[in-house]
Amino acid sequence: MSPKHQENKELQQYLNEMLDELPLLDPRHGFTDKVMQAIGSIDSSSTDSSSTDSSSTARNAGVGLPNWKQNMIHGCVAAAATLLFVSTGTLHRVLAINDQMIQLSAYIEKISLYLVS
């Protein structure tokens, strides 16, 4: 394992240990009931919309491209975009941003440890 990956793994372990030390808080009274009601309303609205979607899909079945042609077009666009990103070096820049974020998080950790001590 490279030193960089080892450092990332150690940082992740350190952050997980810090999270384990934080106290667990209890949710407010009624929070669980509100979440379950919201889930129930989502389920009922999706059931209602799926019945209307099936009728609109039946009306629009002859309109537009067949599914396999649409998937082929989407695949070609995705391949062209990937080729463009790779050939222009944009993909390399995005990956470099990830490395810079790891360095920044390590720097912030060092500063926070300095301030704590």
* pTM of this structure: 0.31
Compute the mean pLDDT over every residue in the chain, rounded to the nearest whole number.
80
**Of 6-10, 61-65, 93-97, 100-104, where does mean pLDDT reach its minimum?**
61-65
Helix-helix angle 3-21:90-116, to 10 degrees:
50
The H or E element containing residue 7 is helix 3-21
In whole angstroms, give the CA distance from residue 27 to residue 23. 13
Q: Quote the tokens at residue 108.
A: 């912030």
Mean pLDDT computed over 16-40 = 86
Higher pLDDT residue, 106 or 48?
106
pLDDT at 57 over 60: no
**Of 4-18, 60-74, 92-106, where does mean pLDDT reach its minimum?**
60-74
Question: Which of 89, 108, 111 minimizes the C-alpha distance to 100?
Answer: 108
In whole angstroms, give the CA distance from residue 1 to residue 85. 29
Confidence of residue 62 (pLDDT cuts 50, 70, 90): very low
pLDDT in tens, 65-90: 678 888 899 999 999 988 888 888 88
